[in-house]
Amino acid sequence: MKIAYILNTYPQPSHSFIRREIAALEAAGHEVGRFAMRGPDVPLVDLQDKAEAAATHYVLAAGGSALARASLRMMLRAPRRFGQALRDVWQAARRAETGLARHLIYLAEACYLRARLEGSDTQHLHAHFGTNAAMVAMLCHRLGGPRYSFTIHGPEEFDSPRALSLGAKIQHAAFAVAISQFGRSQLCRWADPADWPRIKVVHCGIEPAKFAAPAPLPDGPRRLVSIGRFVEQKGQLALIDAMARLRDSHPDLHLTLIGDGPLRGAIEAKIARHGLQERVTLTGWVDEARVTAELGAAHALVMPSFAEGLPMVVMEAMAAARPVIATYIAGTPELVQPGETGWLVPAGDVAALAEAMAALHDAPLPALDEMGTKARRRVFTRHDVAREAAKLAQHMQEAAR
């Protein structure tokens, strides 16, 4: 089957799950084209991401004149379809905060994409995230292009479902995908009940072969690692406050923060204010090999998020046989089991987070090892990328028929 992936900004360091999904589809014999509106907005350090960038066609790089010509050709060749797409844009713009001008750009991108796909035998479009990429896929289909689907991750889409026209995107899609049962429930809130059967659950996946021999839990002082963009929803500022509560009672506990983002300055300032410079390490963005090494050097992953979909790093940590400290939000409780594979705490509760970190610090190594073994078994059962990509491909093939 020939598939076109429609993406907004790609690749990004935090979007390795998309790269893995595409690779699994290609390994199964499907042909996947990559179309992104724009390139990465941060430097790429992973060689696999760099290879994805080289394989991706960037729509906006074609220039405004190319998009204008494609729009004019579409308007002349298929005026009825163009008029319907224009009405879709008008209706979406009325609900959105971004206004009509932005949505007219989405229409131009869709016209350009429709022209690029002409004669390519592409059978299906698939977008990731319910934002502009899904809108471009929908408009391309409305202009006569292949049927489309899109994967919703959250939490951003759930923050503004009306502004993103999620109901319309689901209505016109062959199917929509949520990455957890919680995510599916949120899509059902904004979809017509008649469309509920077409909302599927396909988990993001990991590659079990890359975790064939997890590093044993290290001896010595307990080490935690946290991975994610430095943004408000990830909760790193609360994590630093929790570390401050344990500064005197657990002086050998160490935390490594992997990632970067707009809150880096605030995080660094809070670390300095609490005198934690020797207890907290910031690495910036690192490649996949370094992430694996940091997980191997840690006793657990800690994810203090306020809002999530279902974090990939939780899956990767569990595959590496590491317990997880996370928050009771979104799809996370579908994977992390308190007392079995880790700890769950209320989001934003610094005291509860510190208590869980202290419990991990004080737990005997064999108990942590047993948790890690259970975590590894659970994630391999639920999140094998080859199995999940096969589910996605089956939905696409059924839609094509």
pLDDT tens column, 117-152: 999 999 999 999 999 999 999 999 999 999 999 999
**pLDDT given at position 224:** 98
| Claim to verify: residue 45 and residue 194 sit in the same structural domain | yes
**pLDDT given at position 99:** 84
Average of per-residue pLDDT across 78-88: 97
Asked if residue 46 has pLDDT above 90, the reply is: no
Please give the DSSP secondary-structure letter assigned to residue 260.
-
| Claim to verify: residue 268 and residue 345 sit in the same structural domain | yes
Asked if residue 216 has pLDDT above 90, the reply is: yes
Domain holding 289, by residue range, is 210-382
Average of per-residue pLDDT across 279-287: 93
When divided into structural domains, the chain yields a total of 2
Residue type at position 250: H
Average of per-residue pLDDT across 14-35: 95
Residue 171 φ then ψ, to 5°: -60, -45
| Claim to verify: residue 373 and residue 390 sit in the same structural domain | no
**Least trusted range by pLDDT, from 95-104, 198-207, 294-303, 317-326:** 95-104
Give the position of tokens 């370094």: 290
Asked if residue 156 has pLDDT above 90, the reply is: no
Average of per-residue pLDDT across 161-174: 95
**pLDDT given at position 16:** 87
| Claim to verify: residue 232 and residue 374 sit in the same structural domain | yes
CA angle 7, 100, 73 (to 5 degrees): 70
**pLDDT given at position 278:** 96
As separate numbers, helices (DSSP H) first and strands (DSSP E) second, the chain gives: 16, 13
Strands annotated E in 106-168: 124-128, 147-152
DSSP 3-57: EEEEEEE---GGGHHHHHHHHHHHHTT-EEEEEEEE--SS----HHHHHHHHHEE
**pLDDT given at position 213:** 87
Average of per-residue pLDDT across 192-212: 95
Asked if residue 97 has pLDDT above 80, the reply is: no
**With contact defined as beta carbons under 8 Å apart, do 296 and 320 qualify?**
yes
- Pairwise CA distance, residues 375 & 341, whole Å: 5
Give how far Cα 310 sits from Cα of 92, 149, 202, 259, 382, Å. 28, 20, 12, 17, 12
**pLDDT tier, 328 (very low <50, low <70, confident <90, very high otherwise):** very high
Q: Which residues contact 101 (CB under 8 A, 6 or more apart)?
A: none
| Claim to verify: residue 140 and residue 234 sit in the same structural domain | no
Residue 258 φ then ψ, to 5°: -105, 125
| Claim to verify: residue 391 and residue 353 sit in the same structural domain | no
**With contact defined as beta carbons under 8 Å apart, do 228 and 312 qualify?**
no
| Claim to verify: residue 148 and residue 127 sit in the same structural domain | yes
**pLDDT tier, 273 (very low <50, low <70, confident <90, very high otherwise):** very high
| Claim to verify: residue 201 and residue 242 sit in the same structural domain | no
- Reference 398, options 177, 141, 123, 139; nearest CA is 123
| Claim to verify: residue 224 and residue 362 sit in the same structural domain | yes
SS3 254: strand
pLDDT per position as a tens digit, 341-385: 999 999 999 999 999 999 999 999 999 999 999 999 999 999 999
| Claim to verify: residue 63 and residue 173 sit in the same structural domain | yes
| Claim to verify: residue 266 and residue 340 sit in the same structural domain | yes
- Average pLDDT of the residues of the chain: 95
**Least trusted range by pLDDT, from 164-178, 208-222, 255-269:** 208-222
**pLDDT given at position 274:** 97
| Claim to verify: residue 127 and residue 225 sit in the same structural domain | no
**pLDDT given at position 41:** 86
Q: What is the CATH number of the domain that holds 74?
A: 3.40.50.2000
